[in-house]
Amino acid sequence: MAREPSERLSELGAFIREQRENARLSVRKLSELAEVSNPYLSQIERGLRRPSAEILQQIARGLEISSETLYVRAGILDPREYAGLEGAIRSDTRLTEAQKQAMVSVYRSFVGTDPPDEPDLGVSEPPEGAVEAGADLPEPVEEVPR
């Protein structure tokens, strides 16, 4: 069931307030960091105003969280497009934006930029010249004492 726009705004405002309080910032300080007026930020937190994507990005920058997190909360970004490990990294409020970018970069270096939907769990062929487990191995050479 779809949420009412006013409910979504209230939830967004409460989330922003929670993030601000977790960061130990006053409304005034966050408004300075985000370059948003103090009264406007207060109205957003109370769910009275619908911020634009640009304002959400400025608030996210001030809170040092990903703007995508706020976009999902505001209903601008579909959460299904923001799923998976990258989404979890980007939505983790305990990480700074720089940490999130570093973790996503490392993750992508392992799986490529387009990770497969399902991991390939099949057994690959051993490299040429590799000895298979249980194969007959030559007897070890005995060392001669000097």
In 3D space, the residue among 36, 81, 114 whose CA is nearest the CA of residue 25 turns out to be 36
| Residues whose CB falls within 8 Å of the CB of residue 144, separated by 6 or more in sequence, listed in order | none
Which residue carries 């959400």 as its tokens? 56
Cα separation, 67 vs 61, in Å, equals 7
* Residue 73 burial (10 A CB sphere; 0-12, 13-18, 19+): buried
What is the CATH topology of the domain spanning 5-111?
434 Repressor (Amino-terminal Domain) (1.10.260)
For the full predicted model, state whether its pTM sits above 0.85.
Answer: no
| Residues whose CB falls within 8 Å of the CB of residue 92, separated by 6 or more in sequence, listed in order | 100
Q: Give pLDDT tens digits for 101-137.
A: 888 888 888 877 654 444 444 444 555 555 555 555 5
